[in-house]
Structure 1
């Protein structure tokens, strides 16, 4: 394992967060790798979005600590499961739709615009990378998006705001073929689309720098993406509150909140947010 930062002494405010002197030193090592070797790619998980008020899944206050996830097979076979699924979505989606990107999302978008990051591969379904300014074609959503509804039979897609799920207690179906519909996300037990996974793995194998942010790396096959980069020789940096299975293979392991760390990273490479239009060459 490479450099590890856990310290909290000598704190300095960075866009609403705080980093110790040791943590700043590790962010500077990441900045140097992106400057010398980039452009790189980022692999993000729920930890980058918790600062936007979106709970994670596996943490102490995560969604799975309060209720069991909807399993894909149960959704297909049990109308009552589908009823509960749609009632939960009616309650939660307005909150998700109203969520705003935080400084971490904005920092990654700035790094993309400046040429230091090429692609973001995310496990998140919240669309906050795109809201922050990352071009949609440069964001790979491994687990899909909550902002669309898809038919499992005819595979048509609708923007979420254009699809009427009906009143509480009802189960909508496809208005075209009558098939089952669900949000365009990968449910628990549902396979990640092969084309998307293979694309992400190919990007990881080719990248010189892999920045892993806010993920436990316990969900497969998504966790294979940064591991593929590590085994292809990439400089791997992990920014996460807790240990991950990839820590031993990483060049930098930083225990810090994603927002503060990424804001400082973007400030080092691109300048303060007001200077975000600065060219990389400057």
Structure 2
């Protein structure tokens, strides 16, 4: 891999689109969905905890699971990768777009979305609930005050504001991501396995229109063969290396 060429391409680009996955938050101590299934939760299948049928069957149990993840996420802190992506947004301004598959809100807490760029959460956010009647989202109460299932300010029960097995990604977020990657000169794909579509196909939109794609991941992924450049490292070190002057 020609790291100098990758650096030069990123520095020259005025339109940059980024896709992040679980590998970005791993350095903050946040486990993947399946890795979080320890202890009592290890006996459940993922779809027993994160699907519309599971919620209809036992909303109290599903909320117990998500309340635990919510507490864990609030206790975590953004890491170097989150900070570097916020810094990259500050450099690129309105030409910067970040789509994340993570539901922990750490990109926002690191400052992403405050420097003129745009951030979309493709899989939702653990820090909020969704009114089951109106579809509006509201912040959850602090963990010590959270009563589950929670009720929205409108008086309706709220479900976790995340995308479950068997559900589609939010249409507006996905369309924004597809448009941004199609217009990008450089796509960065960081800490994701490339196994879950349609998110895994976003970098292909950039490549199809003559842009380049840079992957940062410790190991090969299912889309590595498509990438223009690949940096085999964890997210924070890989980004630090890429963002050095060309």
Q: Do they superpose with TM above 0.5?
A: yes
Rate the CA distance shift 1:131–1:172 in 2: closer, same or farther, 3 A. Answer: closer
CA distance in 1, matches of 2:36, 2:245: 35
CA distance in 2, matches of 1:215, 1:64: 19
Provide, for residues 59-92 of structure 1, a one-character-per-residue CA deviation record: whole Å limited to 9, x for no partner. Answer: xxx23684532242223431x2x22111122222
The structure whose Rg is larger is: 1
Does residue 192 (structure 1) correspond to residue 169 (structure 2)? The answer is yes
Mean alpha-carbon deviation: is it higher for 152-161 or for 64-73?
64-73
Q: CA deviation at 1:119?
A: 1.1
Q: Contact 2:66–2:126 at 8 Å: present in 1 too? A: no
Structure 2 unpaired stretches of 5+: none
Structure 1 unpaired stretches of 5+: 4-24, 270-282
The equivalent of 1:63 in structure 2 is 36
What do you get for the CA RMSD once the two structures are aligned?
A: 2.4
CA distance in 2, matches of 1:224, 1:106: 25
1:45 is matched with which residue: 15, 21, 24? 21
| Count of matched residue positions in the alignment of Structure 1 and Structure 2 | 236
Does residue 126 (structure 1) correspond to residue 99 (structure 2)? The answer is no
2:137 is matched with which residue: 157, 174, 179? 157
TM-score, with normalisation over the residues of structure 2? 0.86
Does residue 72 (structure 1) correspond to residue 51 (structure 2)? The answer is yes
Q: CA deviation at 1:245?
A: 2.3
Mean alpha-carbon deviation: is it higher for 152-161 or for 199-208?
152-161
CA distance in 2, matches of 1:57, 1:241: 19
CA distance in 2, matches of 1:240, 1:57: 18
Mean alpha-carbon deviation: is it higher for 109-118 or for 65-74?
65-74
Q: CA deviation at 1:230?
A: 2.2
Mean alpha-carbon deviation: is it higher for 65-74 or for 36-45?
65-74
Rate the CA distance shift 1:132–1:266 in 2: closer, same or farther, 3 A. Answer: farther
